[in-house]
Every structure is written in structure tokens, then in C-alpha cells.
Structure 1
């Protein structure tokens, strides 16, 4: 392992100063330390920010502000999250082992990198995300877990987070701080599609620190759920996942929120399906048609064509469950 320095920031100002000198922020370390151990990443300095921003508080407008240092376990267990945003609690509990949830932080979860096996295979595989311009062995290799939406010739990796899929469906807002000031960003705009620069995962500026994630007030969020389809029940990343919330009035969909995981380089907000469903009768046919429309541009690889039908069926089933429609 490459030698590195370690500093624990006592406040936000110190964290930003240390990052300006080249430090990388460290939360629970459940991803970054793995990347260092596997020699995928070689940061020269780490800045521990786990002592910062650990509160969960209601906002004046009825939303919730979640500090970036809050652990996944604490967030999933919080009474307000369980009652008003159940999709988020369920996504977190589907995401990892209890030990990892006890360590992993909200800010770190947003910044975790792909679990593509070719990305981790430093000695044996070409990877544009790891070394830009080298090539992508996943495209011609075993690509069962890879992307069907938003991929490029340069990269077909998927984003691994379950939490982020739920946050995308909830219209979460990310609060950021840097030496030049503060800003907010919709979570759906935080992560990038690969294009020809797959090595850049997010739109964060150098040294920018995630300080909090804000959930806006939304009555629809209380009627929400998360379903994750994976190869095994314990500690596996999603082949396809669906975060959904729906409101039905007089038999018609008055509002709906949908996001997909396991299918793209970023959490995939299913905007096309949402637009199709609003105002329509809550029926299996409508749910299936919306799912078909959302997956219309999907491009399968050699081994993952099954994901297209799996995503359609999962979306349809989840919506039917929430709407009380017999499948």
C-alpha cells in the first residue's frame, strides 16, 4: 500500500483546509479503504470527517436535514425516516451487512465507486474508469451485472448504491461546502453518466465537501417502498432495484416517483415513466406501459439482456403493490 498521511478534522473549516492541501475525505472507509487496499486508488493524504455533520433534524418546511456523517444504520433506524420516508429506510437495509451499515456514512455512500470487477482487476484488465484511454474489457467480457441505460463505448459500469436510488426518487438535495462557499445540488445531478470521461463519477469540484442531504417535505413519500432483485438474499449488489412512491385518487395516479438501480452509471430517475403515469388509471396495463417506455432505450450487452425484462416486471410489480392493484 502506498504510504499516506492521516488527519482527523475537528470542524468543517479544518477539513476544507486539509483538502485544499491534497487530502481526500474519509467517512466510514467502507469503500475508499477497499480501493486503497486493492491499489485502485492511491491518495497521499486522508482527512477523517466522521466527527462532522452527524445530526438528523426536521426543517422548518417539514422536510428532513441529514448530516453527511450520519451512519447508514442510524438513518435507517430513525423514527422520522421510517415513518415518512420508508423507501429510504428499506433501501439502506437492503444495501449491505449490519457491520458495514454501522460504519458507512451518508456522504460516503453518495461517493462510493462502481463494483465492476474489471475496475478492481488492476493487473489483469483494461478499464477506462481506472486509466482513461486504456479500453473497457467489460464490454467484451462477462457483463451480466453491467449497465443497460446511459452507458457509453468507454464504460458500462453501474452505480452500486441502494440509498442513492431512494434519494433520487425522493428529490433529495445535496448540500456542499468548499473554500469558495456553499451550494446545493439535486441528487439527480450529482452523478455523471460516463460519456468519454468515465473516470469522473460526479460533478463535485476539487476539495468540495458534502455536508448534508436534505429530504423535501412530500406526503407521497410516506407511501413508498424499495425492492431489490439480486443473485442472493445476503450482501449482493442489485441486478435491478426500484424505488417507488405513488398517490392514487379516484382510481387515477395523481403523483408518482420512480428511480432504478443496477441499470446505469448513476441512480436512474425514471422520468419518462412518471410522466406517462400521472393522470392515468392505476392499472397493470398502465404500469407495464410506463415501464416499457422507460426501458425503450435500453441497450443490452452479451450477458445482461435479461435486465430489461427484469426491470419492467419489477417496476410493474412494485407499482401494483403500492397502488393496491392485483397482479
Structure 2
């Protein structure tokens, strides 16, 4: 690990000032950042410790939702009574990821900013546009079994690794951030970026901005939901394909429907316009298959990951059927 300097910020304003220095990064749980520093993928010259600032609580909002402080741990979020009762989709998604030890350290804000697990991003001896812009993408013609089939570009086919973020996308959360220009909110759908020709930029954050909270809306789909994660082993593995599915039903008629995919793109993948077409239709396998086909329209495999296209379609149908029947899969 390369040498770096370290300071501990007392509040958000101090943290923003500190991180404005070139080569500076925030650190909280450090579960992803420290790994990347150890293998020389990330080389910050200065770390700003934000663990002593506020934003460590989960509070009700005036609109009937919940505000998750950015420094609340993944474990505390998953087991919070209000999250378990009102947003079980989020709780199940968090518990499907990582290990208990990591969930005890990892923060909600940090979860949003974790980097891809692409083999070539981690291998500093191979070209990678995410690591070194302009160097090329080794994955496109390399071993790409775990990588993206949607929203890719000629610059990058990496995937976002988070389980939590897939559920947040389906729930239509909002991200609260603060920077030198002040506070602002970002709809979750707009928070992460597709690679295009700037794959080194994962999120629509300014360099001096810090995540302070994640806001959940009042609707939590607590009755009909499922988080389905398909992976190579039963635990402690990243998703080949994951699906966060949520339904609001009137009998068998769809009043509202949400689907977000993980493991298939540079960001959690949602198509609200396709979901809208199913409102008022009957919640049947045939209806769900139509949505699955729409979600995978335009998908492209790169050889080793061709199987993901059909796998993702089947996973969408399965997750929606589980949601309809009030079944969940972790």
C-alpha cells in the first residue's frame, strides 16, 4: 500500500473542505476502498475519515418515508424494525450480499459507491478504462462471464456489484448529497451512470460532494415483493443476475409494478416505461414474460456471458411470481 495522509472530519462542512484537495477520498467503513488500495488499484494521497460526522440514524420523514443516514451500517439497516416491516425488499437485498462481518462495517452511503468486481479492473497488469481512462477494455474480448449485457459501450462492460442498490432502484429512493455548492437530491435512477466513453465515473457526484442520506418513499411494497439472487454458490458471491421485484395488486390486477436488475449493467437496470404498460393487466406468467422480454430488448452478450440474456428473462418472471405469492428468496 502506498503512503497517504489522514485526517478525521468533525462535520460535513469540514469533510467537504478536506476532500477538495487533489488525490483525497472519503473513508468510512472502508470495506471496498482499503481492498483497492492494497492491490494498488486506487492510490489516494489523502484519506478523510467521516465516521465521526452525523448521519448515523434512521428517521421517519414528513412524507411518510424513511431517511437512512449515510453512515448507518448495512446490518443496522437490514435489521431495523421499520425497514423489516415497511421495506422488506430492501432488508432481504442487503442480507443477500457480502458477509455478516462486512455488513457490520459497510455503510449505506459507501454501498452506493462501491466499485465493480470486474477481473480486469482488479488486475493492474491489464488495460482497463475504468482504472486508466483510454487504456482499453480487456474484458470485451477476454473472460467476461460475470459482466454486463445491458447498457454497455465499447469502453466498458463492467457491472455494479451492489445488492442494496438494486432494491433501492426498485423502491425509487432518493440520494441526499452535500458539496461546496450546497445540498441537493438525486433520484436513484439518475445517481449511477452508464459507461459510455467515461466508465471511470460511476456516479453523478461532483468531486467535493458527500452522500448524507438515502430517502425511502412512503410506498414500500411490504405485501408483494421478492429479491432473487442467482449466483455461482449459495452465499458470499456476487450476482450473475439479481432481481428486485415489487407488486401492488387489486385481486390479480396489477396496480403498480417495479422491477430492477442487478449483475447485468453498469448500474441497477430499470425500465419504468415498460413497467407502466403492465398496469391494469392481470398478474400472470404471460404478462410477466412480456415485461421480461422488454427488459432484455437490446441485450448483448460478449461470449462467456451470452447465457445471461435468457437467465435474466427467466429470473424476472420467477421473481414476479414469487412477489405475487408473497415469497422471497435471499
Cα pair distance change 1:165/1:250, threshold 3 Å: same
Q: Deviations over 1:70-126 (max 9, x none)?
A: 000000000000010011001100110000000000110000010000001002x11
Q: Report the equivalent of 2:99.
A: 97
Cα distance, 1:325 vs. partner? 9.9
Map 1:64-143 to 2 at 5 A: 64-123=66-125, 125-143=126-144
CA distance in 1, matches of 2:271, 2:264: 11
CA distance in 2, matches of 1:204, 1:155: 20
Q: Deviations over 1:105-154 (max 9, x none)?
A: 0110000010000001002x111111111111100111100100000011
Query: TM (normalized to structure 1)?
Result: 0.97
Cα distance, 1:225 vs. partner? 2.1
Q: Report the equivalent of 2:18.
A: 18
Map 1:1-327 to 2 at 5 A: 1-22=1-22, 23-52=24-53, 53-123=55-125, 125-218=126-219, 220-324=221-325
Cα distance, 1:222 vs. partner? 4.6
Cα distance, 1:63 vs. partner? 0.2
Structure 2, unmatched stretches of 5+, are: none
- The answer to whether the Cα contact below 8 Å between 1:51 and 1:69 also exists between their aligned partners in 2 is no
- The answer to whether the Cα contact below 8 Å between 1:220 and 1:255 also exists between their aligned partners in 2 is no
CA distance in 1, matches of 2:220, 2:231: 30
CA distance in 2, matches of 1:186, 1:290: 23
Cα distance, 1:272 vs. partner? 4.3
Secondary structure of the residue aligned to 1:183 is strand
CA distance in 1, matches of 2:325, 2:221: 15
- The answer to whether the Cα contact below 8 Å between 2:254 and 2:282 also exists between their aligned partners in 1 is yes
- Of residues 275-284 and 105-114 in structure 1, the stretch that sits farther from structure 2 once superposed is 275-284
Q: How many residues align?
A: 325
Instruction: Kindly report the root-mean-square deviation, in angstroms, between the aligned alpha carbons of the 2 structures.
Output: 1.4
- The answer to whether the Cα contact below 8 Å between 2:226 and 2:322 also exists between their aligned partners in 1 is no
Cα pair distance change 1:14/1:161, threshold 3 Å: same
CA distance in 2, matches of 1:74, 1:187: 21
Query: TM (normalized to structure 2)?
Result: 0.96
Q: Deviations over 1:39-87 (max 9, x none)?
A: 0010011111122310100111210000000000000000000010011
CA distance in 2, matches of 1:67, 1:161: 18
Cα distance, 1:160 vs. partner? 0.4
- The answer to whether the Cα contact below 8 Å between 1:272 and 1:290 also exists between their aligned partners in 2 is no
